[in-house]
Amino acid sequence: MYLNLNILNPEQRKAVEEIEGPSMIIAGAGSGKTRVLTFKIAYLLESGVSPFEILSLTFTNKAAAEMKDRISKLVATSFEKIWMGTFHSIFARLLRIEADYLGFNRNFSIYDTDDSASLIKQIMINLSQPTDNPTPKAVHNFISNLKNKMILPKEFSTMAKSTFEKKIEIIYEEYQKALFKNNAMDFDDLLLKPIELFRRYPEILEKYQERFKFILVDEYQDTNKAQYTIIKLLSDKYKNLSIVGDDAQSIYKWRGAEIQNIFDFQDDFKECKIFKLEQNYRSSQNILTLAGNVIKNNKKQMEKELWTENDEGEKIHIIESMTDRDEAVRICRNIYDEIQRKKINFKDFVILYRTNVQSRTIEDALRNNNIPYLIIGGVRFYQRKEIKDILAFLKIIVNPQDNESLTRVLGLRAGIGKTTIDKLIAKAENEGIQIFELLKKISAEKDLSSKVKNLLIEITNYVYKFQYLQEEVPLTELVNSVVDEIGILRALRLENTVESEERIGNIQELLSAVAEFRDTDDEPTLEMFLQKVSLVADIDNLDNQKNAVTLMTIHSAKGLEFPVVFITGLEEGLFPVSGANMYEDELEEERRLFYVAITRAETKLYISFANQRYRFGTPSFQMKSRFLKEIPEDIYNSIITFENLKLKTGYRSGGEKKSVSGSAPSVKFNPTPKKKNSSLNVEDEFNDKFPDIKKGVTVTHNTFGKGTVLNTVGKGIDKKAEIYFDDVGLKKIMLKYAKMTVEDS
């Protein structure tokens, strides 16, 4: 197979052909960075480099899978020996090989955030510390931040000053000890332990330096200190390191990413060659112009000028709504309008928001209007209770030392209560052994009833039985046998509820995932399956084939693209999230996040904001986001206000059209109402709550006191007033919600 480099633009080709020494590829949004990475790997293979000598690091499994698929279409030679995947999956793989050097068994468990929080909770209880403030989850977040900065317990002990930090210091140390006892690592350890391994054993480092002579790193701007250190150590001998990134898309500071890593790359690698990918293939010119105008307001950035040969495209649509409910309804209206006009599908739309809490109102509107949707970032599949329960049973087969999984299994066994589990935990702690070691000799225990001891012996025998079977039977048969043994499907079928049916469906999906893993993975073992599910991310499960509108946070949307994008909630305190008193670096990160949101759009972009939004359970008046001021006037349509937004078309079930005049009712838009004979009650919707409101009228508001009406806009349900209150100044009031009286003239 001949590798045709002529399909690349000149700068892309230069970047691909540069394989010796360090290189930095600054890839603007939509500039084809995945193409460059895949072609570069293909070019390395065509140049005679062994796949065994290539390491390719990504930030999502989805990106790794896409790259593998593309490479398979570019080269005829086998490339399976390339180590390609996320940082966590790659270094979990390495640790499986070398774990014994650090005192771990290769069958170590990988704890997710829930497992870690559960372990920390038990530690806090053992230390007689309250678990309500701080919560175990908050403690784990703090420890995770320390690990991202490579601050270990010993180092932190010299830094801890406050009472809170002193508490964390003790918990952190005990947490690391407990992980080791459990033969377990958390996500952060998957990056810290390789560094420890390389520094303690230079011969191991040299082994992998020799192996990975060519290293490629995607999304370099999102690397944290630990990831940076691993890359530096591994590439130090041959320095054949290619990094791809875009400082303008660095949006993960909150989870430890250090944007300075990309700015410092030239200093770290003096011979570095720089390539800038500035041609955008994704977006229309107007969308690109908006992105450029927004990001230029950041002081800290690498200069680049994105351009495109695409059409100018439609202007940006800015939607002003009175409330967050109105915002959601108007989004639904526009989705149906777009589908009618352009004959596109629901899957062509994405609705983006700054925080997950914004999704509820949007979901309500989508459901009410029978719009199918897929939400990314809810309860992840592998976090659902029934799935976590089965995984716990599977984990103790592989690693009986895993106390967290074992106590979960014990808690699921009828006849074994919390008191018994607490006794076992305390006794194991006192004897300095793991709970499973205690179970092996449980028959000698005197303070447990014969019934309880028999149940505990059954669990011990379960582990022994399936440890034997995992060496004798295929993976799918093993997992099916476990599900059958624990009786979870039988129990759920007996419940015979809607919820139990959903859970049965989830378990069946898990069995399908096991079968797929068996058929596609190079090492289809239970151990590797558990590793894979431990490291799966929300975005890895995005189903591009499902015809549904996608809902997600902007952080989750990075790397994706959609024909039509809605960016919601452009209000101060929401986006940017922290309000007016932000540090400059925080504000710049928020602006980069806005830039990422904008550049997800291919052909059409909607930006919306509301004047009033429920926050913390109460309606709150919102200010327009400062980012709206950064949009050039010549690239957006007039703001869609209440007076000029018309509901042009209503729909009965079955698609029958009828005309509706007047302003769009606040929450009544429903193209396919569930009840066939339901219709919009226009008369009711447009009743005016304050018919006497006009300029100059004096009002008394229950909260704001006395004020004077300066102006009114809209009519009926959408009518609002600008009122200057003596005590609090100017307020925009939506009259349908107003709690006030009009004084007699």
Report the catalytic residues: 33-34, 218-219, 249, 600
d(CA 720, CA 718) in angstroms, rounded, equals 6
Stated as kind and residue range, the H or E segment containing 292 is helix 285-295
Handedness of CA 447, 449, 450, 456 (dihedral sign): negative
Helix axes 324-342, 359-368, angle to 10 degrees: 50
Strand, coil or helix: 684: helix
Stated as kind and residue range, the H or E segment containing 345 is none
Which letter, b or e, does each residue of 210-249 get, where b requires 16 or more Cβ atoms within 10 Å of its Cβ?
eebbbbbbbbbbbbbbbbbbbbebbbeebebbbbbbbbbb
Handedness of CA 291, 296, 300, 303 (dihedral sign): positive
Strand, coil or helix: 57: strand
Handedness of CA 33, 37, 42, 47 (dihedral sign): positive
Strand, coil or helix: 706: strand
In which residue are the tokens 């193209």 written? 671
Nearest residue to 647 (alpha-carbon basis) of 657, 661, 637, 667: 661
**Lookup: tokens for 202:** 């230079």
Which ranges in 343-434 belong to alpha helices (H)?
359-368, 385-398, 403-412, 418-431
Mind giving me the DSSP string for 223-258? Answer: --HHHHHHHHHHHTTT--EEEEE-GGG---GGGT--
d(CA 164, CA 466) in angstroms, rounded, equals 44
